[in-house]
Amino acid sequence: MTNETETSVTVLGLGLMGQALAGALLKAGHRTTVWNRTAAKADQLVAEGARLAPTIDDALAASALTIICLTDYSAMHDLLDTSELDGTTLLNLTSGDSAQAREAARWAEQRGARYLDGAIMAIPPALGTAEAVILHSGPQSDFEAHESTLAALGTVTYLGADHGLASLYDVAGLTMMWSVLNAWLQGAAMLKTAGIDAATYAPFAKQMAAGVAEWLPRQAEQIDSGSFTTEVAALETHVRTMEHLIEESERLGVNAELPRLFKAMADRSIAAGHGGEQYPVLIKEFSKP
Ligand code: NAP
């Protein structure tokens, strides 16, 4: 028989993402209690079987696990600073940085609550599918106690005991996203000057992005070992090609800020004596304040 307490979940915050979280939990058959500052946002979920808690304290008491999804951490403090948290387990899926996550963990602990932090690497319509990657950090036993329930939300990943890890992975992943998107747009702008539309360029760009992604595990070995012996191309060889990219961009009349940034960092690394080493030696530049 299902233990009702273990499969009951509360969701605080029913914005676009909170509604998607509660919807996925309901769809998976979990007893779901919801609360939102603007109560009307619960109407659809209530029609689907959710229970609308009349107060925050009622919402917190209703379930073994409370998922928080608000605009930011200060909204969470506004909402919960005067609530009874003793004995609750909170999973905060609100976006923030690692310092906010660690501070929130201390705040929750002082209030007698168990605390997990998390980050949602997905858009609301993907919730409840494997495409929705949800990162978690905090005590492993607290994660494991709710892992099977959380599986209703998507692909659930545990990163480690440090509460800040989910936020750190979140921003690291966003760096990857914006870097690839900006590189794609740079190339699309250049090719447009030759009458090549983005749709024609897209398959080649996709192949390049996927090909470069294949290099990451070997680069990781070099970064982790601190040894950057050149195996395929020295940093100074890259820089000569970066010059072509800058000159071509300027000649075509497209923005050259991004190529100049690539070269400025590589030039500093060469000036520090690393021109004969392999590209990941640039980690030394990225590791500086
Ligand atoms: P949203 O639609 O703007 O919803 C914000 C929620 O926060 C609403 O429930 C709002 O309540 C509540 N709220 C804000 N300030 C509050 C306060 N002082 N007291 C009580 N409630 C307060 O935002 P969202 O898209 O759901 O995003 C929520 C979180 O998920 C954010 O941290 C966001 O970065 C993260 N996220 C979103 C996406 C996405 O694609 N949407 C993707 C990944 C992560 P009211 O309804 O009463 O205004």
Counting every residue, how long is the chain?
289
Q: Is the CB of 135 under 6 A from ligand 1?
A: no
- Which tens digit of pLDDT belongs to each residue from 37-60? 999 999 999 999 999 999 999 999
Q: How confident is the model at residue 5 (pLDDT cuts 50, 70, 90)?
A: very low
79 lines ligand 1 (CB under 6 A): yes
CA of 272 to the centre of ligand 1 (A): 46
Report d(CA 181, CA 285) in Å as an integer: 22
Q: pLDDT band at 159, cuts 50/70/90?
A: very high
Q: Hey, is 116 helix, strand or coil?
A: strand
Report domain extents, the chain.
Answer: 8-161, 169-286
Distance (Å, whole) CA 30 – CA 5? 10
Q: Which residue owns the Cα nearest ligand 1 atom 43?
A: 120
Q: How confident is the model at residue 4 (pLDDT cuts 50, 70, 90)?
A: very low
Provide the whole-model pTM. 0.90
* Ligand 1 mean position, distance from CA 224 (Å): 38
For ligand 1, pick from 19, 38, 69, 171 the residue to mutate: most ligand atoms within 8 Å of CB.
69
Query: What pLDDT is recorded for position 7?
Result: 79
- Mind listing the pLDDT tens digit for each residue in 231-285? 999 999 999 999 999 999 999 999 999 999 999 999 999 999 999 999 999 999 9
Q: Rounded to the nearest whole angstrom, what is the distance from the C-alpha of residue 164 to the centroid of ligand 1?
A: 20
Alpha helices for the chain (secondary structure H): 16-27, 43-47, 56-62, 73-80, 98-110, 140-150, 165-192, 198-213, 216-225, 235-252, 257-271, 283-286
State the maximum Cα–Cα separation within the chain, in Å, rounded to a whole number: 71
Distance CA 65, CA 46 (A): 19
Is the pLDDT at 229 greater than 50, yes or no? yes
Q: Which fold has domain 169-286?
A: N-(1-d-carboxylethyl)-l-norvaline Dehydrogenase; domain 2 (1.10.1040)
For residue 252, count other CB atoms closer than 10 A to its CB. Answer: 15
The pLDDT assigned to 31 comes to 97
| 38 in contact with ligand 1, CB cutoff 6 A | yes
If one residue of 14, 37, 38, 77 were mutated to test the ligand 1 pocket, choosing by the most ligand atoms within 8 A of its CB, it would be 37
Cβ within 8 Å of residue 98, ≥6 positions away: 163, 164, 165, 167, 168
CATH number, domain 8-161:
3.40.50.720
